[in-house]
Structure 1
């Protein structure tokens, strides 16, 4: 973990594993990105759901057939009463940089029991909404869609 934003053209990763005589590792994906942990928790009403693009077709007899697509997670995060500058500098600026095609890694709960259910690679479904909620405070809302491999 770096203390500040680091921009580099290459990254040299060295892994020391004396228990691996072949000297081979398999990394599915290496993510190097800035992190943001908002100063406040998401508001009540933020939620995680599952959606699918599976198409359904019904015959005249009522039998259904499916063009199955992999279900994906959708996360709605609403942060309220954040310091205005944090919502602008971290939330809105992050969204501006990544657009709807860039990636974020969402970690809702870092406890091991649910880490695999509540953490995933995602993209913004749409740009967030920023609104002033009180003097020097702001709300910002995100809709995140799981990025499937």
Structure 2
């Protein structure tokens, strides 16, 4: 199990996006709108329509890229090119990833799948598995990349909708990844704000709301630099409104679509100076986190 990553800040809002072919009323610029309902939608599934470039205006350290509230099919693939040349003539990193985990990059237990299952041959999610929560495709780069330009190409030619759409894009660095992972007892769950009304007869009626993910964990063995330079600095800069992308376990390529999400700090925790020493890290510090998924 690899150590948790908190991605911050989201560099997409100060970037310049261009390329592809997008519905006039649902433009590429909607990726820079925090309202997930304001989507960017391609005119078609043609490769020239579903690609675009990102100019970050200056070199940025990048580690995490995530598509939030997308409609990618189970067979979609994403290609990324990072460069400091506007024409991408000198790429720093080129990477291709499945939008959803599959046997090509995840450890699915094929023995647990029935012959009749839709995903028997792919070893991936069923359609019903990905419904009922905000679809999130997160791509963790193999190393930190210092780059100004990113080219995104989406290959989803079998998408039944006839287009791809995305509600939000996260692009940022790993602001905090502790040397020692979070304590045992970390939790992730769903909160459901569905309204329930009861008639005089006792019959119940529901105003259905989509559940949101909430993760709680504590980092109790932070070094001085991790405590003051990352954890406390994240609290100061993000506040309760800043976007934070959670990657619970970077090695989890099977359930990452469930465990990784775009959220915010629900409350601003204090940094506790424990007064105990570690041979590797000096004085230890502790901070608790509660991160609520954004809609």
Q: Same fold (TM over 0.5)?
A: yes
Gaps of 5+ in 2: 1-8, 21-44, 51-163, 277-282
2:191 equivalent among 28, 35, 51: 51
Q: Tell me the TM-score normalized by structure 1.
A: 0.80
Q: What is the deviation of 1:30? A: 2.8
Please say if 1:117 is aligned against 2:258: yes
Structure 2 Cα separation of the partners of residues 109 and 86 of structure 1:
18
Q: What is the deviation of 1:97? A: 0.7
2:202 equivalent among 62, 65, 68: 62
Q: What is the deviation of 1:31? A: 1.8
- What is the count of residue pairs matched by the alignment? 139
1:40 equivalent among 172, 180, 191: 180
CA contact (8 A) 1:46 1:78 kept: yes
Please say if 1:133 is aligned against 2:251: no
Higher normalized strand content (fraction of residues): 2
Q: What is the deviation of 1:74? A: 0.4
Check 1:10–1:73 CA distance in 2 against 1; reply closer, same or farther (3 A cut). Answer: closer
Structure 2 Cα separation of the partners of residues 10 and 57 of structure 1:
45
Q: What is the deviation of 1:125? A: 0.8
Structure 2 Cα separation of the partners of residues 55 and 44 of structure 1:
34
1:73 equivalent among 202, 207, 213: 213
Name the SS of the counterpart of 1:129 in structure 2.
coil
Map Cα deviations across residues 103-133 of structure 1 (whole Å, 9 max, x no partner). 0110012321111011010111111232112
Q: How big is the alpha-carbon RMSD for the aligned residues of Structure 1 and Structure 2?
A: 2.6
Greater CA drift, 53-62 or 34-43: 53-62
Q: What is the deviation of 1:33? A: 2.1
Structure 1 Cα separation of the partners of residues 204 and 218 of structure 2:
37
Q: Tell me the TM-score normalized by structure 2.
A: 0.43
Identify which of structures 1 and 2 has the higher relative contact order when contacts are C-alpha pairs closer than 8 Å and 6+ apart.
Answer: 2
Which position in structure 2 is the counterpart of 1:24? 49
Check 1:62–1:146 CA distance in 2 against 1; reply closer, same or farther (3 A cut). Answer: same
